[in-house]
Structure 1
Amino acid sequence: MANHVVDGANGFVASHLIGALVARGDSVIALARASEEVVRRKVSDALATLHLNPDLAKKVQFRTFSLGDPALGTAAPDVFAEPCTYWHSAALITFFPRREAELHAVNVVGSANAVTAFTRHAKPGSRYVHVSTAYQNGTTHSRTLEQWPEYGHPSEFRNDYEHSKRAAEVALSQTGLARKSVVLVTRLGVMVGHSGTGRALSDLGLYDFLRVIALFARRTPGERVRFVCHPGAALHLTPVDGTVDRMLALADGPLDRPVRHLVPAVAVPVTDLFAAISAHLPVELVPVTAEDVEAEPFTRFEAIVNMRCKFTSPYLRHEYEFESRADAQPPPVTPRILDLLISWYVREGLPE
């Protein structure tokens, strides 16, 4: 039985990770600012999503913590009593403007505090896994490699969240953990639900976009909405079940490649995504170029929808290429899986 400590335990990825760990018989200490009741409910829901016994959530040990405290706001010697794998998953995810200071405090300073606590208290043989995002690459048009990043100016990123995740990786690369090769950075794609059922307990990423589109489609059905897209735009949609499988395999294996992209080898073209959404909602989503919009300006309705999607739409305007090896690639989202993901959320996940 292996020992694991997972912070941000009530998050989408972390709760599924914890569920998979306890299901295979490992010991898990869950760290979260949220209450124990919330964490256990999230883990129980995640276990159900993974087709595992929800009652296994009772096996999770719980501790309150704070990323603002170098000791994590808990009894660190207790948390690190045994050699363990520490999963740093806690983060603030927001694309809203004027949140730079808060994002830095949580995602950069908080990450540094987690490293400090691990460095001071973790027993020999322990490992540190930092959960990041593939989109820390910012607006670069070149292939993003599986290597430690260099500093990037805030202007090189679509939002402050991306910049904060890059800064956290840069800081981690300069620590003793990186020099000792006991650290793994897992850069995730656009997280979505279960590949077999489409079930997703998340309102972020694709689901935020779906929620906005559904709101307008149901109010004014039959409208056409154009979005400016790169001709080769595609999203690396990444099912949570495949992602957790890859995270566990990489964390258990050799740490000779400390930075890994957990993204499918084949991304979902935006044209396919739009067609799938239009098949389940009374709306016609159309990818166009900036020149198309200049020739035929947005209608008032299109302009409003685009404004409401302003935190998602920038990701449609770029083409991404991430270096990745087969052992880190979750299975791709096929047309069948894409239909499952969208149909489940339209049926079960949207607010009434």
Structure 2
Amino acid sequence: MASHVISALVARGDTVTALARADGEVVRRKVADALTTLHLNPALVEKVQVSSFSLAEPDLGISAADVFAEPCTYWHSAALITFFPRREAELHAVNVVGSANAVAAFTGHAKPGSRYVHVSTAYQHGTTEGRAFEQWPDYGHPSEFRNDYEHSKRVAEVELSQTGLAQRGDVLVARLGVMVGHSGTGRALTDLGMYDFLRVIALFARRTPGERVRFVCHPRAALHLTPVDGTVDRLLALADGPFDRPVRHLVPPTAVPVTDLFAAISAHLPVELVAVTAAEVEAEPFSRFEAIVNMRCKFTSPYLRHEYGFESHADAEPPPVTPRILDLLISWYTREGLPE
């Protein structure tokens, strides 16, 4: 999201300083790709100032007097995203401690009139039953989440809610859905979320075409696939508006049923994906092939086993992923995005 937000900001004439852990050339390449994805001039990347920073250092290891010389909007989107086990300490260091360090640097140096935008995930709701509301969360036990990433994002929000920024109303928490590519072209710059699942399915489908693979799914399972172009538009509008409602869900009004996702994937890859219940698998156990595919998808498949409901409002909702857009997203990735 950071590269796409930077692209939209610089395209409208804003002065942008990108604080990055990566090398400057890597940042510029990512922003240039994002500009292209959003149908903007990639040469605009030359207007982006890049500065190295560290989430672990006091004042983020930057020249705070220079970065915060004028009132600004500070976008905190730096995060570690991994669903692998035994990464809890690293996730906490980046997503929780790093977020707290960013708040401290902003609070200590930002000029009056500055604003803070914290990019989070709607799935910080974890596996808690019921609808997720646009409100500050409470602490949750790690067992209430599918992975340590979700838990770390929840803790970061809880700690942010207890800061002076939150008390003064100078902060916006933007909770994103499952980020996907451009709604008009299908082009994507990520291998996370739906694309991680697609990559695994494609690997097995092309090696052993014509197989059937079942996944245990909630009967009403659906994913809030969120196109990057519409999400950037909503983000910028919210960041420019009043922060009277500090927590917002940037999810489409209609989620994509998992059965529709499976059908679209099966239309582009030589595989039949089938949503089943746990009882059906108990009655007819997975074949060896199905068991292997499910094991390789073990970090994505838990998101198929729950029904999600997020409070959202029209001013924050990106346009929904229609069947046409879904087909476009999958066809582009299977044609252009898959690794060789």
* 1:290 partner amino acid: A
Match of 1:149 among 91, 112, 137: 137
Distance in 2 between the 1:110 and 1:22 partners?
A: 26
Distance in 1 between the 2:67 and 2:59 partners?
A: 11
Distance in 1 between the 2:134 and 2:264 partners?
A: 31
**Is 1:63 aligned to residue 51 of structure 2?**
yes
**Is 1:184 aligned to residue 184 of structure 2?**
no
Distance in 2 between the 1:78 and 1:93 partners?
A: 30
Distance in 1 between the 2:58 and 2:134 partners?
A: 29
* 1:115 partner amino acid: V
Match of 1:105 among 83, 88, 93: 93
User: What secondary structure, in the 3-state scheme, does the structure 1 residue paired with 2:60 have?
Assistant: coil
Q: For residue 209 of structure 2, what is the aligned residue in structure 1?
A: 221
Distance in 2 between the 1:95 and 1:324 partners?
A: 26
Match of 1:349 among 307, 325, 337: 337
Q: For residue 202 of structure 1, what is the aligned residue in structure 2?
A: 190
| Over 4 Å off, 4+ runs | none
Distance in 1 between the 2:119 and 2:140 partners?
A: 19
User: What secondary structure, in the 3-state scheme, does the structure 1 residue paired with 2:16 have?
Assistant: strand
User: What secondary structure, in the 3-state scheme, does the structure 1 residue paired with 2:280 have?
Assistant: helix
**Is 1:47 aligned to residue 35 of structure 2?**
yes
What aligned pairs does 1:81-92 form with structure 2 within 5 A after superposition? 81-92=69-80
Gaps of 5+ in 2: none
Match of 1:232 among 191, 215, 220: 220
Q: For residue 162 of structure 1, what is the aligned residue in structure 2?
A: 150
**Is 1:308 aligned to residue 296 of structure 2?**
yes
Q: List per-residue Cα deviations over 1:7-66 (Å, max 9, x = no partner).
A: xxxxxx000000000000000000111111010110000000000000000000110000
User: What secondary structure, in the 3-state scheme, does the structure 1 residue paired with 2:9 have?
Assistant: helix
What aligned pairs does 1:228-307 form with structure 2 within 5 A after superposition? 228-307=216-295
Q: For residue 323 of structure 1, what is the aligned residue in structure 2?
A: 311
* 2:106 partner amino acid: F
Q: For residue 3 of structure 1, what is the aligned residue in structure 2?
A: none
Gaps of 5+ in 1: 1-12
* 2:145 partner amino acid: F
Distance in 1 between the 2:335 and 2:54 partners?
A: 36
The TM-score with structure 1 as length reference comes to 0.96
**How far has the Cα of 1:70 moved from its partner?**
2.5
**How far has the Cα of 1:213 moved from its partner?**
0.2
User: What secondary structure, in the 3-state scheme, does the structure 1 residue paired with 2:59 have?
Assistant: coil
Distance in 2 between the 1:260 and 1:187 partners?
A: 6
* 1:147 partner amino acid: Q
Distance in 1 between the 2:330 and 2:336 partners?
A: 10
Match of 1:95 among 83, 97, 114: 83
Distance in 1 between the 2:128 and 2:142 partners?
A: 12
Q: For residue 111 of structure 2, what is the aligned residue in structure 1?
A: 123
Distance in 1 between the 2:162 and 2:119 partners?
A: 17
Q: For residue 28 of structure 1, what is the aligned residue in structure 2?
A: 16
User: What secondary structure, in the 3-state scheme, does the structure 2 residue paired with 1:238 have?
Assistant: strand
Identity of aligned residues (%): 85
User: What secondary structure, in the 3-state scheme, does the structure 2 residue paired with 1:163 have?
Assistant: helix
